[in-house]
Structure 1
Amino acid sequence: MRYSSVHERLAGLGSAKWEVHRLAREKKAAGQQIIELTIGEPDEATPPGMIEAARAAMRPGRLGYSDGKGEPGLRAALARRYSERRGRPIGPDQITCLPGTQTCLYAILRTLVEAGDEVILGDPMYATYEGLIAQTGATAVPVALRPEAGFRIRPGDVAAAITPKSRVLFLNTPHNPTGAVLRREDIAALGELARAHDLWIVSDEVYEDLVFPGVTFTSPLDLPELAERSIAACSISKSHAAPGFRSGWVVGPAEFSARLLPLSEIMLFGSQPFIADMTEHAISEPSPVAAGMVARFARRAAIIADALDGEAGLRVHRPEAGMFALIDVRATGLSGHDFAVGLLEEQSVAVMPGESFGQGLNGWLRLSLTQPDEAITEACRRIKAHALSRRGRAA
Structure 2
Amino acid sequence: MRDFICSKFSNVEPSGIRKINEKTLEMEREGKKIYHFEVGRPDFDTPKVIKDATIKSIERGDVFYTSNFGIMPLREAVAEKLREDNNLDYSAKEILITAGASEAIFDTYSLILEEGDEILIPNPCWPNYVNAAHIMNAVPVRYSLSEENDFQIDFNELEELVTEKTKAIVIITPSNPIGSMLSKETLENLADFAKRKDILVISDEIYEKIVYGTKKHYSIASFDEMKERTITINGFSKTYSMTGFRLAYIAAPEEYIRVLNIIHQHNTSCATSFVQHAGIVALKEGQEGAQKMLKEYKRRRDYIVEKVNSIDGLSLNNPDGAFYAFINIKGVGVSAEEFCKYLLDELCVALVPGNVFGTAGEGFVRLSYASSYEDIVEGLDRIEKACKHFMNK
Q: TM-score range by the shorter chain?
A: over 0.9
2:6 counterpart (4, 7, 30) = 4
Partner of 1:56: 56
- Contact (CA 8 Å) 1:200, 1:230: kept in 2 or not? yes
Partner of 2:42: 42
SS at match of 2:344: helix
Partner of 1:388: 388
Equivalent AA in structure 2 for residue 371 of structure 1:
S
Unaligned runs of at least 5 residues, structure 2: none
Q: Which whole-Å CA distance do the structure 2 matches of 1:27 and 1:3 have between them?
A: 32
- Contact (CA 8 Å) 1:354, 1:362: kept in 2 or not? yes
Q: How many residues are treated as equivalent by the alignment? A: 391
Partner of 1:328: 328
Cα deviation for residue 70 of structure 1 reads: 0.9
- Percent same amino acid among aligned pairs? 25
Q: Which whole-Å CA distance do the structure 2 matches of 1:236 and 1:23 have between them?
A: 28
Distance 1:338 1:286, change over 3 A: same
Unaligned runs of at least 5 residues, structure 1: none
- Contact (CA 8 Å) 1:318, 1:326: kept in 2 or not? no
Distance 1:73 1:122, change over 3 A: same
Task: Say whether 1:283 aligns with 2:283.
Answer: yes
RMSD: 1.5
Q: Which whole-Å CA distance do the structure 2 matches of 1:382 and 1:180 have between them?
A: 25
- Contact (CA 8 Å) 1:154, 1:186: kept in 2 or not? no
Q: Which whole-Å CA distance do the structure 1 matches of 2:311 and 2:139 have between them?
A: 40
Equivalent AA in structure 2 for residue 189 of structure 1:
N
SS at match of 2:152: coil
Q: Which whole-Å CA distance do the structure 2 matches of 1:50 and 1:382 have between them?
A: 37
- Contact (CA 8 Å) 1:228, 1:253: kept in 2 or not? yes
- Contact (CA 8 Å) 2:64, 2:273: kept in 1 or not? yes
Q: Which whole-Å CA distance do the structure 1 matches of 2:304 and 2:87 have between them?
A: 37
- 1:5-20 to 2 correspondences below 5 Å: 5-10=7-12, 13-20=13-20
Partner of 2:366: 366
Partner of 2:186: 186
Cα deviation for residue 20 of structure 1 reads: 2.6
TM-score (norm 1): 0.95
- Contact (CA 8 Å) 2:353, 2:364: kept in 1 or not? yes
SS at match of 1:325: strand
Q: Which whole-Å CA distance do the structure 1 matches of 2:297 and 2:16 have between them?
A: 27
Q: Which whole-Å CA distance do the structure 1 matches of 2:213 and 2:239 have between them?
A: 16
Greater shift in the superposed pair: 101-110 or 52-61: 52-61
TM-score (norm 2): 0.96
SS at match of 1:107: helix
Partner of 1:379: 379
- 1:58-73 to 2 correspondences below 5 Å: 58-73=58-73
- Contact (CA 8 Å) 2:240, 2:286: kept in 1 or not? no
Q: Which whole-Å CA distance do the structure 2 matches of 1:32 and 1:91 have between them?
A: 51
Distance 1:167 1:381, change over 3 A: same
Distance 1:75 1:147, change over 3 A: same
